[in-house]
Structure 1
Amino acid sequence: MRRTIRHMFSIACLLASVLMVSGCAGMAARSVDPSRRREFIAEDLRERIDSGNPEYAIARLGVLGEDDLFSEAELNEFAVLAEDALERLLTHAIEASEYRDALRFYRSLRALGREELLNGATSDDLLRRWADHEIQNGNEIAGLHLLLRLPDLTSLSDDELDRFAQVAFSNNNRFMLEQLSVVAGERDIEVPEEYGAFLEHRPTAAQLIEGTATIWVNRGVRLERGVGIPDRVIGSGFFIDRRGYLITNYHVIESEVDPTYRGFSRLFVRLPRAIDRRIPARVVGYNRIFDIALLKVEIDPSYIFSFTEIRTLEPGTQIFAIGSPGGLENSITSGIISATGRRFLQLGDAMQVDVPVNPGNSGGPVVNREGDLVGVVFAGIPQFQGVNFAIPSFWINHFLPQLYQEGEVEHAWMGVAVHETAERELKIIFVAPGSPADRAGIRSGDVLLELAGWRPTRINDAQTVLLDRIPGELVNVRVRRNGGELDRLVAVAVRPFSPIEDLLDRVSTEELFPPLFGMETSNISTNRWQRNFVVTHVYPGMLADESGLSAQDPFSLQNWRVDLDRRIAILQIIIRQRRAGFLESGLQLATFLERDNFL
């Protein structure tokens, strides 16, 4: 997919080069025959439509309509071809039971307002059929989580309520069974007594421990000063599927799937009652952005956990963490939620907890007093006691079905970095070249007003909307520019793991200043050997602002370094700060490459 993104960028560069004129003094300006540009664009549009990506062509047409390269009749002809292709793709996907693709094409047609091409399909119906298809194929947990995407379970028929409730009960999924039982009660449908008894019963600590496991990765021997030392990675995990599927952190099993890792790696699982037995395991799916992985072992677990839709817990809520700190299996510790909404990940947020977490706890479950799974341990700060973090189960629900599909989970993105303003708006401060937003004509400085029918006021809001989008589908976007509102169709693409790293060899250093450091600059160098700038704008709350920079501060760039091993970018400058009377001083700004402000 990285090659696809780079291919799109190369096309954008070629188109740009067709329009460029020479900027070198003394050289005559050159123009390119518009017919060649027309031919290239037309060929690209036809290829996209014929190759199963008509949304890309439609998004391009919206911008081409503002140019005079094609007539209105020609643009309409392309639009008809693309819409007809979408209708055919939707029909084929439904007939082939490829419901994820069907949902993508359905949403794209809805974004276009072409309900007459849907042939009676609805979003709820596609989700129900997708869930039922997964269950029929043995992926019952994936099917239950797809049901959570329904806006309202009351759309289920009585027969569907009964069937899905049986699946939830047999898989120990208390949260889903509760939701289905409520709907059944509203319809005066008698709920089996065993369901009620199950819902009233709460798991004991012993049962919860039985559902956990120690994740053990043997990475051979590493040499330190000529001495061989066993290289082991120990983490925790917990079962979510009676077929032997369990959840852990990606960073625990990274060596199993990282293509850049060249060493030895073998993955095993140890069970609570058989700690001397190592059971071979394999990685099924993983999500690097959320640091989550799904493993498979050939055993029947004694207890399985089920995710809830609890997004946040109130600070002070008592919680428990289960895992293998330092390799000590069957350990359970208690604490409280210290804070919520910590922007610790590229997407979503994290819970800050004071429950004791040590090396080996990573990937273990976090439960509340009722035994409900509310999060997954993923990080701690060794220098500080009681400052640890967990990923809320709410976020994992968005992509859990994809973990069963093998390989890395793909998320949709627009290709913009945004800043939350004091007016509770999202201002676009960077647009990645060749990204979906760039192709749709969205610019830096635009204010994001609507995204797929939602009005996001926080970065989390917009990211939540995009988490449910499927790469390739069309999304309606409304922005404000120069006091007016513009509507755009964006064909979202696969998000790169690290947008900044993906951009390093494609944009200039100063173009990355807004998303990385939160400042706009102007180049005031008098020759190509200088790197002199002046700050033109500082975004409140970002690194430049917290470092005391302000508009009109001149500086010279001394060093720019990206450390891919430590995942940081370092900017060293000599600056004359206005607030310090323009006295010259040195300043270093350092930030992580994985930013949380990209959509």
Structure 2
Amino acid sequence: MNAKLLHFILITVLLSFIGCSSVKVSDYVSPNYSDSEIRAIEIQNISENLKEKPVESLWKAYLLKNTENISGTSQSSDEIQLFNTSANYCLDLYYQAREKNDIVNANRYYSSLSLLAPDSVKEITIDFSEDQKKLASLATSHDARNEENDIIQTKKVSDFIAGTVTIWIDLGIKVEKGVGYANRVIGSGFFIRKDGYIVTNYHVIEETVNPKYEGYSRLYIKLSSDTETRIPARVVGYDKSLDIALLKTEVDAPYVFTLGSSLNLEVGDTIYAIGSPIGLTSTITRGIVSSYDRQLLSTAAVMQIDAAVNSGNSGGPLINKDGEVQGIVFAGITDYEGLNFAIPVEYLKAIIPRLYNDDFFDTNDTQNNSISLPKEVTSAWIGAYGITYKEPGQLEGSGVQVLYTMPGGSCDLAGIKSGDIITAINGQKVNSIEELGFEMVKLSSKMVVPFSLADSNRKDIPVYLDVRPEYPTLQIRERDSDYNLMYSLLGMKLENASASKKNQFIVTSIVKGSIADESGFSVHDSVTLEKMEAKEDDGYFVIQIYTKKRKSGYLNVSLSIGAPMDSYQIF
């Protein structure tokens, strides 16, 4: 299992004091839209970025138009013209998307315009609800019992094997120490449409779409009924952060799985995993749901299961006795028996319209008969870090408390600050950080949606959903000082302890359950940031800290702490 999926702590007491300093202390300054000079610069920047980032430019033009400057004048003619130009450009893009039958992007432009420039979409006569129904149907029409699919009727669990496939990635010949051998990747998948659409894990097919991979690769599938024949397949779309991919092969599926729900699963319920462990096709294992909400992915809470899972099971379906898919097997820890994980099917259903879009709705130019390139589905984020907010004395959450906002990020520019409590996004109530994460998965990046706060006077705040970086903390580090980064990285808020010594701090807040909390730090501890190194290939930071911890009797201790570059609490 990939180590960067785990939230881990690597603590080593150093034998000697490390005196070299490589800690970033400079801060990025967010644009102050109340300053007329900065407004003029922003007008120029927005104009230059309009074609490359149309919705973001429209949103920033909206912010400019609705922010008073120092002189007390709320709008200038240049700002009004910029906003109108941006709105008209986005409207043109909406019509272009409609003409291409690109429903996903049409929805993105329409929704953003409806929030920021509602007058611009008043004259649109197309029944947009029909588009919404088409998108929704992609996530709900997968039913093996649908008579239109002409699918076999199953009588026992073993019958469901017909709907599974072995994913076979041919990577050519690998040479080690002068000896060559066949190099391949084996995984599992399952049909979700009669016309050959298959779901698997992104990490199974990564070499076929990763631009950094420069070697040979060919993608095939093998049917459970014919394990000798390799059938060519292609990648339709994929989501790295959710580890989900959609494939297409030109065969009629012998069986199509129903996408069920994991919401009715309880700990102890029986589940079945079907796949090709170490290449052994048509293997079924049985187990139970061991736990929920394991935070192994930055954008999804996953299920823990004890059904036997091995290398090759990745991408296979997790089903109930009726054959309804309740999850996608994606990981197992090989050294620990019965410690395996599956992605709840709700996440698959949330992104299916975006995975399908270019392929299913034929958005290409029909004259060139080209096949769609694999579409990467990007996750959204707004540059913030927070936790589930619970009212005093309450066990259940009632929102998400923002603890940190990245300077210049969407959350910061929208006016959402540390201490604010998010209660809804896009009209959907959120009671926890997990619920907020799921609602953001359901939405496309590069669009504007309304956020509501606990403050009754702050409802429907337009916020731009930016593209989530692979490692958000790297982008935060570009914008902010390393000591401010410690809050979202370690769960430890620091404040300067000395004006003369820039790397000495006092701990002012600790997030319960965070790396800092589990490392024994507490409020009022003295901390010196000695060195911080980014291990980007492995997905974590190594932070060297010299500290006097209250829980250690204020003894001087040097620590080396490892922290993942991404977290579900960063959104």
AA at the equivalent of 2:437: Q
Which residue matches 1:211? 163
Structure-1 separation of matches of 2:419 and 2:556: 31
Structure-1 separation of matches of 2:336 and 2:179: 32
Higher helix share: 1
AA at the equivalent of 1:496: P
Structure-2 separation of matches of 1:57 and 1:441: 17
Q: Give the match's secondary structure for 2:297.
A: coil
- Tell me which of 478, 494, 498 is aligned to 1:521: 494
Q: 1:301-450 alignment to 2 at 5 Å? A: 301-404=253-356, 405=358, 406-423=374-391, 424=397, 425-450=399-424
**Please, which moves more after superposition, 58-67 or 234-243?**
58-67
Which residue matches 1:152? none
Q: How far does the alpha carbon of each residue in 1:83-118 deviate from its partner, in whole angstroms, 9 at most, with x for none?
A: 565656555654554432332233234434837843
CA gap of 1:48–1:587, structure 2 versus 1, over 3 A, is closer
Aligned residues of 1:56 and 1:491 also touching (Cα < 8 A): no
Aligned residues of 2:261 and 2:325 also touching (Cα < 8 A): no
CA gap of 1:127–1:311, structure 2 versus 1, over 3 A, is farther
Which residues of structure 2 form unaligned runs of 5+?
A: 1-26, 359-373, 392-396
CA gap of 1:378–1:36, structure 2 versus 1, over 3 A, is same
Which residue matches 1:144? 137
- Tell me which of 513, 516, 527 is aligned to 1:544: 516
CA gap of 1:173–1:494, structure 2 versus 1, over 3 A, is farther
Q: Give the match's secondary structure for 1:344.
A: strand
Structure-1 separation of matches of 2:378 and 2:435: 19
- Tell me which of 452, 473, 477 is aligned to 1:478: 452
Aligned residues of 1:403 and 1:409 also touching (Cα < 8 A): yes
Q: Give the match's secondary structure for 1:492.
A: strand
Q: 1:76-115 alignment to 2 at 5 Å? A: 79=83, 82=86, 90=94, 93-94=97-98, 97-112=101-116, 114=118
Q: CA deviation at 1:334?
A: 0.6
Which residue matches 2:73? 71
Which residue matches 2:554? 582
Q: Give the match's secondary structure for 1:399.
A: helix
Which residue matches 2:57? 56
Which residue matches 2:45? 44
CA gap of 1:577–1:257, structure 2 versus 1, over 3 A, is same
Q: Give the match's secondary structure for 1:241.
A: coil
Aligned residues of 2:61 and 2:82 also touching (Cα < 8 A): no
TM-score scaled to structure 2, two decimals? 0.81
Q: How far does the alpha carbon of each residue in 1:480-522 deviate from its partner, in whole angstroms, 9 at most, with x for none?
A: 68x9857632122222232124444443322321111101112
Structure-1 separation of matches of 2:136 and 2:417: 39
Structure-2 separation of matches of 1:540 and 1:248: 35
Q: CA deviation at 1:80?
A: 5.2
Aligned residues of 1:38 and 1:70 also touching (Cα < 8 A): no
Which residue matches 2:23? none
Q: CA deviation at 1:322?
A: 0.6
Structure-1 separation of matches of 2:498 and 2:303: 45
Which residue matches 2:464? 491
- Tell me which of 521, 529, 536 is aligned to 1:557: 529
Q: CA deviation at 1:354?
A: 0.6
Q: How far does the alpha carbon of each residue in 1:184-221 deviate from its partner, in whole angstroms, 9 at most, with x for none?
A: xxxxxxxxxx68x989x545334311111111223234
Structure-1 separation of matches of 2:51 and 2:536: 39
Q: How far does the alpha carbon of each residue in 1:364-386 deviate from its partner, in whole angstroms, 9 at most, with x for none?
A: 11110111111110001122211
Which residue matches 1:465? 439
Q: 1:114-193 alignment to 2 at 5 Å? A: 114=118, 117-119=121-123, 125-129=127-131, 132=134, 144-145=137-138, 148=140, 168=141, 172-174=143-145
**Please, which moves more after superposition, 352-361 or 423-432?**
423-432
Structure-2 separation of matches of 1:205 and 1:365: 12
Structure-2 separation of matches of 1:598 and 1:127: 33
AA at the equivalent of 1:414: I
AA at the equivalent of 1:421: Y
CA gap of 1:433–1:223, structure 2 versus 1, over 3 A, is farther
Q: How far does the alpha carbon of each residue in 1:420-452 deviate from its partner, in whole angstroms, 9 at most, with x for none?
A: 234333222232333222332333333323322
AA at the equivalent of 2:106: A
AA at the equivalent of 1:560: M
Q: How far does the alpha carbon of each residue in 1:276-316 deviate from its partner, in whole angstroms, 9 at most, with x for none?
A: 22223222211111111112223222112231244351111
AA at the equivalent of 1:338: S
Q: How far does the alpha carbon of each residue in 1:51-87 deviate from its partner, in whole angstroms, 9 at most, with x for none?
A: 7825633445436614326822425565555556565
- Tell me which of 451, 469, 482 is aligned to 2:425: 451
Aligned residues of 1:309 and 1:397 also touching (Cα < 8 A): no
Structure-1 separation of matches of 2:157 and 2:459: 55
AA at the equivalent of 1:469: L
Aligned residues of 2:87 and 2:117 also touching (Cα < 8 A): no
AA at the equivalent of 2:434: N
Which residue matches 1:568? 540
The aligned length equals 520
Which residue matches 2:20? none
Structure-2 separation of matches of 1:526 and 1:233: 55
**Please, which moves more after superposition, 519-528 or 410-419?**
519-528
CA gap of 1:401–1:441, structure 2 versus 1, over 3 A, is same
TM-score scaled to structure 1, two decimals? 0.77
Structure-2 separation of matches of 1:272 and 1:98: 35
Q: Identity over aligned residues, as a percent? A: 33
Aligned residues of 2:157 and 2:321 also touching (Cα < 8 A): no
Q: CA deviation at 1:323?
A: 0.7
Q: Give the match's secondary structure for 2:403.
A: strand
**Please, which moves more after superposition, 552-561 or 333-342?**
552-561
Structure-2 separation of matches of 1:50 and 1:383: 51
Structure-1 separation of matches of 2:89 and 2:179: 63
**Please, which moves more after superposition, 404-413 or 360-369?**
404-413
Q: CA deviation at 1:536?
A: 1.4
Structure-1 separation of matches of 2:71 and 2:91: 28
Structure-2 separation of matches of 1:351 and 1:15: 39
AA at the equivalent of 2:492: M
- Tell me which of the two structures has the higher relative contact order, counting C-alpha pairs closer than 8 angstroms and 6 or more residues apart: 2
Which residue matches 1:535? 507
Aligned residues of 2:270 and 2:288 also touching (Cα < 8 A): yes
CA gap of 1:73–1:511, structure 2 versus 1, over 3 A, is closer
